[in-house]
């Protein structure tokens, strides 16, 4: 493990400056304080976290055909760990992979599609009689409060298509069907499906690096001017207006923080493309592009927490590009027809293949003493089981990544019947160093995970 013995150390942000030119340095041993291990220094790998949501469950041992058509369930551990057909694209990463049996989320029971996305990461039943959104903070946002404050974006919420789908929006509106992420009980976070807008969130306005740099400087000076004038105005206002202005200044300060973080981002070794044009007509390319943007965000440390709805609950998206002309939602109502089950399995494996491609990019991206995959923890899964029945047990969930040594995969865990999904969420929190004794309706940690 690298150490550097001297009385002083260089900042990770050190630049060589001459003649108005600033050249960033690569990571040097001199950037590690004297006698400090890499893992405890400013250059220590930062944990990335991601939640990848798929609607309509998975073909498991949950149809009348039982194990004969079960395409999801894995088995064994270590050398005997065998991945199910849908999960098999993760074969190169088996040592990072843990699969689970017998997980249940009662928060979405009986809701068909309406409550599935929002309750996947909350495990709390929403108050559907409320006039607006009324649930609880979700797992990703609990993590973002702890891990996301040192990046330009505390968290990133994206999707591959609009999440406003007629089949999933029920009596409670689309509060709970259109997002997996809640910043608080009454604060659903929108999911962005336009790649251009996602790129702008990450890199700033402008199609090219030169345009983005010019706009960044301009916006920074505008924010400074607004803040100065607002502070002067404050002394001239009454108590009510001062309170309103204080809220406004909090927003300005957050914008200033993001601008400062964006200006300080280290893009050495990161291949930043020009901004994409917008939503792509080719859905396969759209999914791949979203994964590329997430990988870029992790690599450049623009955010450390991501939630991605890979395709929307209740979608009518077709999959001709993998030989399935049917729409996802209608084919998910397979009526126990073997051919429809086969087609649904093809769609479910396709999404896992794209997730595997993403993992490969992270595994190939070296960072410190490992790769970004070594320093990440991802949950991939659904909040539905048998799509033909709209039930929520057992749930298909996969945990992937090294989590900086906190997660060791290579196993399928057969849990007690009807283990709360919240137990897995609580386990994830503790693996990330966010120690809690409970989360939602959890009954304890999954100690084997």
Residue-level pLDDT, tens digit, the chain, 449 residues = 333 333 444 454 444 343 343 333 333 444 455 555 555 555 578 999 999 999 999 999 999 999 999 999 999 999 899 999 999 999 999 999 999 999 999 999 999 899 999 999 999 999 989 989 999 999 999 999 999 988 889 999 999 998 888 778 865 668 899 999 999 999 999 999 998 898 888 876 555 656 555 545 555 544 455 566 666 777 777 787 777 567 555 654 554 555 555 555 566 667 777 778 788 999 999 999 999 999 999 998 999 999 999 999 999 999 999 999 999 999 999 999 999 999 999 999 999 999 999 999 999 999 988 999 999 999 999 999 999 999 999 999 999 999 999 999 999 999 999 999 999 999 999 999 999 999 999 999 999 99
Element (H, E) at 23: strand 21-24
Nearest partner of 308 among 48, 40, 60, judged by Cα: 48
Q: Decide: pTM greater than 0.85.
A: no
d(CA 182, CA 179): 8
Nearest partner of 299 among 275, 276, 268, 277, judged by Cα: 268
d(CA 123, CA 2): 42
List b or e across 104-137, with b for residues whose CB sees 16 or more CB atoms inside 10 angstroms: bbbbbeebebbbbbbbbbbbbbbebeeeebbbbb
Nearest partner of 302 among 275, 337, 272, judged by Cα: 272
Alpha helices, DSSP H only, in 300-442? Answer: 328-332, 338-364, 421-431
Q: What are the φ and ψ backbone dihedral angles of 72, each rounded to 5 degrees?
A: -105, -50
Q: How many whole angstroms from its chain centre is CA 439? A: 19
Out of 2.60.40, 3.40.720, 3.40.1350, 2.60.120, select the CATH number for domain 48-206+281-431: 3.40.720
Q: Do 151 and 185 contact (CB within 8 A), yes or no?
A: no
d(CA 349, CA 355): 10
Q: Can you give the pLDDT at residue 422?
A: 98
Q: Do 133 and 193 contact (CB within 8 A), yes or no?
A: no
Q: Where are the domains of the chain?
A: 1-44, 48-206+281-431, 209-274
């Amino acid at each position: 493990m690298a150490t550097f013995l001297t009385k002083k150390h260089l900042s990770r942000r050190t630049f060589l400056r001459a003649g108005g030119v600033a050249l960033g340095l690569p990571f040097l041993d001199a950037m590690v304080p004297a006698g400090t291990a890499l893992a405890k220094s400013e250059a220590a790998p930062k944990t990335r976290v991601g939640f990848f949501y798929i609607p309509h469950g998975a073909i498991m041992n949950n149809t009348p055909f039982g194990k004969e058509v079960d395409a999801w369930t894995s088995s064994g551990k270590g050398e005997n760990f065998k991945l199910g057909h849908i999960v098999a694209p993760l074969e190169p990463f088996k040592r990072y992979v843990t699969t689970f049996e017998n997980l249940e989320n009662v928060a979405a029971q009986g809701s068909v599609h309406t409550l599935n996305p929002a309750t996947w990461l909350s495990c709390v039943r929403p108050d559907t009689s409320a006039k607006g959104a009324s649930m609880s903070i979700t797992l990703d946002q609990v993590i973002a409060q702890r891990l996301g404050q040192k990046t330009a974006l505390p968290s990133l919420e994206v999707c591959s298509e609009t999440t406003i789908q007629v089949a999933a929006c029920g009596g409670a509106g689309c509060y709970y069907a259109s997002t997996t992420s809640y910043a608080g009980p009454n604060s659903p976070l929108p999911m962005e499906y336009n790649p251009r807008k996602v790129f702008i969130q990450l890199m700033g306005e402008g199609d090219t690096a030169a345009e983005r740099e010019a706009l960044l400087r301009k916006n920074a000076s505008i924010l400074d001017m607004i803040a100065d004038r607002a502070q002067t105005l404050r002394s001239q206002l009454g108590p009510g207006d001062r309170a309103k202005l204080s809220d406004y200044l909090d927003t300005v300060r957050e914008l200033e923080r993001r601008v400062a973080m964006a200006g300080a981002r280290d893009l050495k070794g990161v291949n930043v493309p020009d901004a994409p044009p917008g939503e792509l007509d080719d859905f396969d390319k759209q999914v791949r592009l979203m994964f590329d943007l997430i990988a870029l965000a992790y690599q450049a440390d623009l955010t450390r927490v991501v939630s991605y709805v890979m395709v929307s609950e209740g979608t009518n998206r077709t999959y001709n590009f993998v030989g399935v002309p049917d729409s996802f939602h209608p084919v998910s109502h397979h009526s126990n027809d073997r051919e429809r089950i086969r087609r649904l399995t093809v769609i479910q494996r396709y999404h896992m293949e794209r997730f595997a491609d993403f993992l490969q990019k992270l595994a190939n991206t070296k960072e410190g003493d490992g790769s970004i995959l070594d320093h990440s923890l991802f949950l991939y899964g659904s909040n539905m089981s048998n799509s033909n029945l709209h039930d929520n047990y057992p749930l298909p969930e996969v945990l992937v990544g090294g989590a900086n040594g906190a997660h060791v995969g290579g196993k399928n865990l057969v849990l007690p019947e009807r283990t709360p999904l919240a137990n897995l969420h609580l386990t994830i929190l503790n693996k990330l160093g966010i120690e809690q004794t409970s989360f939602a309706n959890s009954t304890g940690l999954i100690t084997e995970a």
